[in-house]
Chains A and B, each alone.
Chain A
Amino acid sequence: MADIYLDNNATTQVDPEIVEAMLPYFTEQFGNPSSMHSFGNKVGFAIKKARKQIQELLGAAHDSEIIFTSCGTESDSTAILSALKAQPERNEIITTVVEHPAVLSLCENLEKEGYKVHYLAVDDKGRLDLDEYRSVLSDRVAIVSVMWANNETGTLFPVLEMAEMAHAAGVMFHTDAVQAVGKIPMDLKSSRIDMLSLSGHKLHAPKGIGVLYLRRGVRFRPLLRGGHQERGRRAGTENTASIVGLGRAAELALRHMAFENTEVAAMRDRLEHGIIDAVPHCFVTGNPGSRLPNTTNIAFEFVEGEAILMLLNKQGIAASSGSACTSGSLEPSHVMRAMNIPFTAAHGSVRLSLSRYNCMGEIETVIAAIPPIMAQLRKLSPYWQGDGPVDEPEKAFAPTYA
């Protein structure tokens, strides 16, 4: 049986059609787009086309608003550091407690340099409080950076509304949309979003290519200075083959947008219900009322995530977990903790993220595979006895914590 890949929020397979489109740019189309000869010229046109394709997917007003970068992290850093540098009189940042480390680690580091960071809290479903947001918006804030969709739970944030609020307060708005681009429709020209980050490998393009969308007229300071590439806003010779690949990926994502939101969503729903119905003591985390069509995150109580992943992997099923042990840190996922998920469940949270390459047959296989795995691990768990958790699990097993 072929392996089943349900970890598309981590990365996606490169679409064969995209590989095909990229190949000539490793061989005969090797020119430098800056060169004044036909070798370079053709590549220059290919990049122009890719820029158009991405403009279309994002609904941007101009193709010059698309800046190619090396990855989502670079786009995030560029956006936030640009806002700080362009507005030295402002020394505050607004973000959320559940951002990706690409934003969180940067903000924590900026705090050491003296910037003040407001981390917006979330409730038990991972939702923000817009009143709290409103209360910290001021002319001291250089930039708001809020993810469009959470990578662990798929929960969507109301970034369009939040961008309006920032605009009304005269504050720049950036969104890390790495998980959202290609999965939900966007029309940036009708929004107040000033900057947006995306990453190629989350939408079936290769790794090592990203985009920063920069609204025309937004004050900007480059992270990398040097040559005139990207109109002087991101120096460095273009990653031509990957740019071409990302352009094609954007075109395909737009073509499959309806499929993603009907068929993929239907597979996700079937998977989620199938598991919840078959496994006792588990629950969906995040906000099922508003989330990406491809993601579900289920917390299995009294078992540990890494152990679940290892047993799934043995059967050729790929997923990921918010458990501490899968990250190498000692803490369970900051997203689970922010939502107040108990430790005994947070460590057993498993993210299943689909793509248009999955099929219903695979989903049924996974639904059948999971209950025995949970039963096997719970049999080993000191919180479990026979067919259910011991009475008052936290009391019955209260180890001496080191």
Chain B
Amino acid sequence: MWDYSETVKEHFYNPRNAGVVEGSNATGDVGSLSCGDALRLTLKVNPETEVIEDAGFQTFGCGSAIASSSALTEIIKGMTLDDALQVSNQDIADYLDGLPPEKMHCSVMGREALQAAVADYRGEEWKDDHEEGALVCKCFAVDEVLIEETIRANNLVTVEQVAHYTKAGGGCASCHEGIEEILTRVMAESGRAFDPNAAPPPDMDATPETLAEGTTGMTNLQRIRRIEMVIESIRPQLQMDKGDVELVDVMGDTVYVNMTGACNGCQMASQTLGGIQQRLMEDLGGFIKVLPASELPKAMAGA
């Protein structure tokens, strides 16, 4: 049985504003095909003031989907459209004294219905870019699709990095097997193998806040010095192979380096760059891209 708050139950047993609003002039229909929840929100908007004078909902869905719909209509009645659009998922969940993490998608649906209804009123086309997958991390309600996309976008290779970027796995750690499987699958797309020993295991004492913080607390100068330090620590290895590397510039998250000596023109250079990039990311706890300095003129020209 779900651990629903009394407020959730109350809104489910006695939903407010159920049904279609008389004389409505805005409608938003949204749903989640996989989980089966679907919601129609109808609004009566005052054309002069853009104040929502009345709101009604029809929901095909579970207890919390109905309760979230009811809460949403209560929250937005009397608001202007612009104010209503500021209502967040967390506002809906807070209004209901919290929702189980598995159920947060119900409140997401409410907010999306609102966006769709406002778009309908304003004659705009509403497009949803939020795709939802199976819940992986129950501590922070992170789903599979988000983890996959984050891994792809940031070239993540360790469970620790996934925790840094998405918070998934940063709590009770029960989902680490699942995250490893996702990493294995996504890394295989680019022909790479997941290596559990690629980095030290996640710091279990870290709180999600400190995990999310990463290197954001550093000044630019501190950050560049740190990057210099990491590159210095890599040089001896390269020198053993009669090669070398020097730091040329740092622009945002992109680090430009010069491969010299035997590294210059070596076919392995790109893999070496990848290795440097990974060391930098592990040390700075955030995304870093390492490019050869030859790319620098292009970046300057584009800027």
- Interface residue ranges, A against B (CB under 8 Å): 302-307, 310-311, 313-314, 323-326, 328-332, 343-344, 346-347, 379-383, 397-402
- B 28-84 contacts with A by CB, 8 A: 29-40, 57-66
From known contacts A347-B36, A382-B40, infer whether A303 and B132 are also in contact, taking CB-CB under 8 Å.
no
- B 167-191 contacts with A by CB, 8 A: none
For the complex, what is the distance from the CA of A314 to the CA of B14, rounded to whole Å? 13
Closest to B106 in A: A325
**Does more than half of chain B's interface fall in helix, strand or loop, or is it mixed?**
mixed
From known contacts A401-B31, A402-B30, infer whether A330 and B134 are also in contact, taking CB-CB under 8 Å.
yes
Tell me whether A402 and B131 are in contact (CB under 8 A): yes
Closest 4 CB pairs of A and B: A325-B62, A399-B31, A306-B62, A382-B58
Tell me whether B60 and A329 are in contact (CB under 8 A): no
For the complex, what is the distance from the CA of A381 to the CA of B37, rounded to whole Å? 10
Q: Does B121 contact A (CB under 8 A)?
A: no
Tell me whether A302 and B60 are in contact (CB under 8 A): yes
For the complex, what is the distance from the CA of A92 to the CA of B109, rounded to whole Å? 43
Tell me whether A330 and B35 are in contact (CB under 8 A): yes
For the complex, what is the distance from the CA of A332 to the CA of B34, rounded to whole Å? 8
Tell me whether B133 and A382 are in contact (CB under 8 A): no
Q: Say which size band chain B's interface belongs to.
A: 35 or more
Task: Pick the residue among B1, B30, B31, B32 that contacts A330 (CB under 8 A).
Answer: B32
Query: In angstroms, how far is the closest chain A Cβ from the Cβ of B266?
Result: 37
For the complex, what is the distance from the CA of A113 to the CA of B131, rounded to whole Å? 30
Tell me whether B63 and A382 are in contact (CB under 8 A): no
Tell me whether B38 and A382 are in contact (CB under 8 A): yes
Closest to A313 in B: B1
Task: Pick the residue among A314, A323, A326, A381 that contacts B59 (CB under 8 A).
Answer: A381
Residues of A within 8 A of B29 (CB): 382, 397-400
Query: In angstroms, how far is the closest chain B Cβ from the Cβ of A167?
Result: 37
Closest to A314 in B: B13
For the complex, what is the distance from the CA of A302 to the CA of B30, rounded to whole Å? 16
Tell me whether A379 and B30 are in contact (CB under 8 A): no
- B 9-23 contacts with A by CB, 8 A: 9, 12-13, 15, 18-19
* Seed contacts A310-B63, A325-B65, A402-B131; 17 additional CB < 8 Å A-B pairs: A303-B60, A304-B37, A306-B62, A306-B63, A310-B12, A328-B135, A330-B32, A332-B36, A379-B19, A380-B15, A380-B19, A397-B29, A397-B38, A399-B30, A400-B30, A401-B31, A402-B32
Tell me whether B102 and A304 are in contact (CB under 8 A): no
Tell me whether B18 and A380 are in contact (CB under 8 A): yes
Tell me whether B66 and A307 are in contact (CB under 8 A): yes
For the complex, what is the distance from the CA of A364 to the CA of B130, rounded to whole Å? 46
From known contacts A329-B134, A380-B59, A400-B29, infer whether A343 and B112 are also in contact, taking CB-CB under 8 Å.
no
Residues of A within 8 A of B30 (CB): 399-402
Task: Pick the residue among B13, B39, B102, B135 that contacts A399 (CB under 8 A).
Answer: B39
Q: Does B128 contact A (CB under 8 A)?
A: yes
Tell me whether B18 and A330 are in contact (CB under 8 A): no
26 contacts between A and B (CB under 8 A): A302-B60, A305-B62, A306-B62, A307-B61, A307-B63, A325-B37, A325-B61, A325-B62, A325-B64, A325-B103, A326-B62, A328-B102, A330-B132, A330-B134, A331-B134, A347-B36, A379-B19, A380-B57, A381-B59, A382-B29, A399-B31, A399-B38, A399-B40, A402-B32, A402-B109, A402-B131
Residues of A within 8 A of B112 (CB): 400, 402
For the complex, what is the distance from the CA of A166 to the CA of B50, rounded to whole Å? 71
For the complex, what is the distance from the CA of A383 to the CA of B39, rounded to whole Å? 10
Q: Does B116 contact A (CB under 8 A)?
A: yes
Tell me whether B62 and A304 are in contact (CB under 8 A): yes
Residues of A within 8 A of B13 (CB): 311, 314
From known contacts A380-B59, A397-B29, A400-B116, infer whether A325 and B35 are also in contact, taking CB-CB under 8 Å.
yes
Closest to A401 in B: B33
Tell me whether A343 and B12 are in contact (CB under 8 A): no
Residues of A within 8 A of B59 (CB): 380-382
Residues of B within 8 A of A347 (CB): 36, 60
Query: In angstroms, how far is the closest chain A Cβ from the Cβ of B144?
Result: 10
Residues of A within 8 A of B133 (CB): 330
Task: Pick the residue among B1, B58, B103 that contacts A380 (CB under 8 A).
Answer: B58
For the complex, what is the distance from the CA of A41 to the CA of B126, rounded to whole Å? 75
Query: In angstroms, how far is the closest chain A Cβ from the Cβ of B260?
Result: 44
Residues of B within 8 A of A302 (CB): 60
Residues of A within 8 A of B34 (CB): 324, 330-331
Residues of B within 8 A of A303 (CB): 60
Residues of B within 8 A of A325 (CB): 35-37, 61-65, 103
For the complex, what is the distance from the CA of A328 to the CA of B39, rounded to whole Å? 19
Residues of A within 8 A of B12 (CB): 307, 310
For the complex, what is the distance from the CA of A310 to the CA of B10, rounded to whole Å? 12
Query: In angstroms, how far is the closest chain A Cβ from the Cβ of B101?
Result: 9
Residues of B within 8 A of A314 (CB): 13
For the complex, what is the distance from the CA of A399 to the CA of B60, rounded to whole Å? 11
Residues of A within 8 A of B116 (CB): 400
Residues of A within 8 A of B64 (CB): 325
